Structure 1
Amino acid sequence: MEFRKNIETLLNDFLETRKDLFLIDLKISAGDDITVILDGDNGVSVQDCLDASRAIEFNMDREEHDFSLQVMSAGLSEPLSIPRQFQKNIGREIEVLLNDSTKIEGELAKVDDEKVTLVLRYRKPKEVGKGKVDVEEEKEIPYSEIKKALVVLKF
């Protein structure tokens, strides 16, 4: 447990010096394989990962405790998990899988501590006559209802 505390302290000290970066996940396996996943308000560079790695590795004694360390960025294929990640993706299309297995895709418009707001755009049949009309509506989704959220990649 003390090993994990040391890693967390070193990582938090590093993140204090880099307010634009934030921790997504810290995993430490039974074999002391450490995986750190970072994200940043302006993305994460290779240098950012190297700096985080050095902040941990150079302050740990391998003679005392043997470990492997991997520091990486969250990447576009990783699900959004914390409000700060949602915040940095405002204006992008995201796909949200709800706890009831419903999928919703829309533009991320607003984010706060309890929920996200998506702008949904779709076509629906006219109430009178033939044809369809364009519809745009906002939908608020509490974090508690989100099972998984991904940025939609368009090429």
Structure 2
Amino acid sequence: IIDGDNGVSLQDCMEISRAVEHQLDREEFDFSLEVSSAGATAPLDLPRQYHKHLGRILEVKTEALEVKGTLESVGAHEIVLSWKAREPKPIGKGKHTVRKEEVIPFSEIEKAKVVLKF
């Protein structure tokens, strides 16, 4: 499975497949080789993968929280997610919508993936 900062094309998959296949001897090894791109819902494992998902909704899990929000920014050591939540009004009855924001260090992220909209 391959990934790239600017996406992965079919041509990229073909070139890598051919390069690997030419390094292996079919007479010596019986093998099957499949080269594909990471799926749209594949977990984000490396900090560099977050940049291409700015503005998209992510589900992020840490030991302390699980949050779904829009990826607002990516720093050197953390990401910033924002979302809207309904909370009780500070004074009076009822609820109002508030904008929440969470700064999450890469070191605390256990799992992160893009949420697809249909």
Q: TM-score range by the shorter chain?
A: 0.7 to 0.9
Distance 2:24 2:76 in 1: 35
1:94-134 CA distances to partner (integer Å, 9 max, x unpaired)? 0011124x310100011123111111221211100122222
Give the one of 75, 79, 92 matched to 1:112: 75
User: Structure 2-normalised TM-score?
Assistant: 0.86
Distance 1:73 1:97 in 2: 24
Give the one of 77, 85, 92 matched to 1:122: 85
C-alpha displacement at 1:65, in angstroms?
Answer: 4.8
**Alignment gaps of 5+ in structure 1:** 1-36
Of the two structures, which has the highest relative contact order with CA contacts closer than 8 Å and spacing of 6 or more? 2
Distance 1:121 1:54 in 2: 48
Distance 2:61 2:102 in 1: 14
Aligned length: 118
Give % identity: 53
In the TM superposition, 1:1-155 aligns within 5 A as: 37-100=1-64, 102-155=65-118
Over aligned residue pairs, what C-alpha RMSD do you find? 1.8
Runs of 4+ off more than 4 Å: none
